[in-house]
Structure formats: C-alpha cells, structure tokens
Amino acid sequence: MPELDDGALRASVIVVSRHRRDSLERCLRTLEWQDHPFELILVADPGALDLRPDLPIKRVGFDEANISAARNAGLAQAAGQVVLFIDDDALAEPGWVGALLAPFADPRVIAAAGFTRGPDGLNWQVRAERIDASGRSRPLPPRAALLGPGGQGDPVSTLGTNCAFRRAALLAIGGFDPAFSYHLDESDVNRRLAAAHPQGLTAVVPGAEVIHGLAAGTSRAAPGVPHDLTAIGRSTAIFAARHGGSAAWLREAQRRRLLRLMVAGRLDPLAVGPVLRTLDRGLAQAPAQVPCPPLWPEGAPPPWQELPRRPAHLLFLAGWHWQAGPLRARAARAVAEGRLVTLLLLTPGILRHRLHLVAGGWWEQRGGLWGPSRPGDPALLPGSLRARIDRERGIFAALRR
C-alpha cells in the first residue's frame, strides 16, 4: 500500500452538500480545526460550491438527490489512501480526522466508524452497531475495537456522517451504489466489503466524534420528522433483496416511529397515514434484483492537496446566562484571534443542556446549573456553580485535548 515518506497514511475528507449552505458553512469551520493533515473534497450544488474561496478545496459540482452518486463523485477526486465521510449538517470535533484515520495503520482494517451525537450536541445518536441482511441494526458494546463480520456474517455498520474506508477496498467493489439514493447506502457498502474481504476488520473508534444536526432535507421537514419515506422504503427493499434478508419488518417499525412523533406533538395525526403510504410506494417501486456496481473505472485522481491547519488554541468561558453579553463579546474576540472557544452559560435550574456551534464561530453550551449534560446523567446534578463549571471544563479538555 503506498504511503507518505514519513509512513503516515494520507486522508481525504469528502463532504456532500445539497441546498444547505448555512449548515455546510458550519461544517467547514469545524474541519478547519482538525489537528491532522488531510485534503478536503466538497461535492455541492452551485449555490454552495463557492463557499470558503480562501481554502484549497477540491470542488465538484453536483445537484442531484442521490447521496451515493455524489459520494462517488467525491471519491473520484480523492488522492488519500483513506477516505472519510461527513454530512454537511454535521460538526466534527478537532481530533476527528486523526482518530478515525489511526486504525488504518493496521493493514487488516478496511473501514472505521466513529461515535455520533444527536442534534442537542451531547446525547448519543449512534455508537457501535452491526447491520443485518434486512437492514436492521443492533447495538454493540460502546468501546474501541477491531471487529470482523459477526454472527451470520453481519458487519459493523458505519454511519455515513462519521465513517472512513480504505480507498482501494472501496474502489474494488465499485464504490457506493447509486441504486441507494438515500438510506442504507453505507450499509450496502459494509456488507459488500465484508463479502469481498471476509478477514477484513472494521475499527470502532469512540474518540472520533461528530455532532449530527439532522437538518431538513428532501425526506424531512424538521429534525427527525419525516414527510416522505419513499426512498427509505425503496432502499430497504433493494437492500434486503440483494443481501438475502426481508423488508417485511420495516412498515411496522416506521408506523411505531410515526406514532411516537404524533404522541410527542411533533407530527399531525392526519399525516401518519399519508406518510406511511409514501413508504408503501417506495417498497413497491424497488425492483426484485439490482446488480452490484461494476468495477471502478480506471483513472488516477488529481494530486493530493492538503488543507492548511489552524492550531486549536483552546479557551473555555463560563458564567450565568445574564452575563451572556460580555461573555459572547469575549468569545467573538477570541475567535477573531484564531482560538477555539467553548462558552458555558448556566441558568439556576435543572434545564437539560444543549451544545451548538453558533454563527459567531464558538461552541456554546446552555442549560441549568443542576441539569444533565451528558448521557447517563441523573435528572438532578446537585452542586455549586464552581463545581459545575469545573466539571464541564474537564469534559471539554478531555474531548478537545
């Protein structure tokens, strides 16, 4: 396998974006803070392709609603031995590239999966899972591991917004399959890679963290609230037919999901039936058989183009929410000086915490002095203001070391 002179593998990060310019801008900002060298490939619609003209980005114009085809367009430009994928509505922690790349020093590793937090920036959305032949996932113990196919050959699932692949292995199976315009596209890659490399390993990397925002798109109008399940139905039916599973489980699972959203007041009761009918339409649209992608066409990518790194000089600020004005002004000044800022604003209560990257360019966490801020926290965390600030400061120091 070709390597750099210093023995380090090259990394290519691919971001696919379509009609989400604001989300993409925040994503690119977090990629600037990475502490490991990489090249950046942006596959985007014309309205966002011109973002950050100051950065040496490989830019690919693409404006079709097909995530697999878009990823393949980026893959064709990748000169790194390892390709990493992140969505435009996701935010990468500063050590994400280095952490996700590190396991590939072992030549047995063909893929890697990081840990992904949900829209609140703090609680887990996805950690370690396996994907079965029907497109259902099952959780694994959330710890670092190098894993091969498990029972019945089920591989580790790699969420598309936080995953990496050895480029040569991905090319050898034809890349992503455009038959999966949305949903299970990376899971299909996982299973085809496992079939082609039965001794290959997937690395589970807890330290490779991103925050996934679940921005609105073609299938959802609000975070986590679908209005069209056609693509999910079609992709699941294709996936199950290809890999020897069954899509019969999907309708009941989605019906329960929609009912939970309805009970939570997030989905109009009159919308449940119409949304389910879009799922049925997608299931019916899927052909009985879809051939796997052909071999990747010959051709070398453009030369590797390293993105300049910004040293992440960390600054942690904290105080009461009524002190937000001066604290935010200080955060803005620090960002202008090139510092990576986290601002904690507390209220006297038990409000659950949320973490966001704000427009000014700093991370801002807000919540109650005694409210939970991490998975597993109790509903009430007693303690003083100083103790709480020290706790959160320590968490971020470990995460953004």
Q: What mean pLDDT value characterizes the chain? A: 92
- pLDDT per residue as tens digits for the range 140-164: 999 999 999 987 789 999 999 999 9
Mean pLDDT value across residues 270-298: 90
Q: What is the pLDDT of residue 398?
A: 85
Query: Given this model, what pLDDT does residue 401 score?
Result: 67
- Cα-based distances in Å from 116 to 11, 27, 112, 209, 266: 20, 14, 13, 6, 23
Tell me the domains of the chain and their CATH numbers: 11-214 (3.90.550.10), 216-295 (no CATH), 313-399 (no CATH)
Q: How confident is the model at residue 218 (pLDDT cuts 50, 70, 90)?
A: very low
For the chain, give percent helix, strand, coil, nearest 5.
Answer: 30, 25, 45
Structure confidence at residue 290 (pLDDT): 87
- How confident is residue 214, by pLDDT bands cut at 50, 70 and 90? low
> Is pLDDT above 70 for 3?
no
Q: What is the mean pLDDT of residues 277-292?
A: 91
Write the DSSP string, 36-67: S--EEEEEE-TTTTTS-TTS--EEEE--SS-H
399 confidence band (pLDDT: 50, 70, 90): confident
The 3-state secondary structure of 71-130 reads: HHHHHCCCCCCEEEEEECCEEECCCHHHHHHHHHHCCCEEEEEEEEECCCCCCEEECCEE
Residue 1 pLDDT level (bands cut at 50, 70, 90):
very low
Asked if the model's pLDDT at residue 13 lies above 90, the reply is: yes
Torsion of CA 381, 383, 387, 391, to 10 degrees: -10
93 vs 360: CA distance, rounded Å: 17
The better pLDDT of the pair 82, 289 is held by 82
User: What are 377's two structure tokens?
Assistant: 């926290």
Residues 99, 128, 86, 373, CA torsion sign? negative
pLDDT at 220: 45
What is the pLDDT at residue 224? 76
The predicted model gives 52-58 an average pLDDT of 95
**Residue 246: both structure tokens together:** 């069954």
The yes-or-no verdict on residue 340 having pLDDT over 60 is yes
CB count in 10 Å sphere of residue 348: 11
The predicted-structure confidence for 84-139, as pLDDT tens digits, reads as follows 999 999 999 989 999 999 999 999 999 999 999 999 999 999 999 999 999 999 99
List the beta strands (DSSP E) in 284-350: 313-320, 339-347
What percent of the chain has pLDDT above 90?
A: 84
Please check the confidence at residue 287 and state whether its pLDDT lies above 90.
no
Q: Are 69 and 180 in contact (CB under 8 A)?
A: no
Can you give the pLDDT at residue 274?
A: 95
Higher-scoring residue by pLDDT: 215, 324 = 324
Task: List residues bridging with 315 in a β-sheet.
Answer: 341
Helix axes 272-285, 230-243, angle to 10 degrees: 40
Q: End-to-end CA distance of the chain, in Å? A: 31
Per-residue confidence (pLDDT) for residue 152, from 0 to 100: 79
pLDDT score at 308: 86
Other beta carbons within 10 angstroms of residue 299's beta carbon come to 6
Helix (H) or strand (E) holding 240: helix 230-243
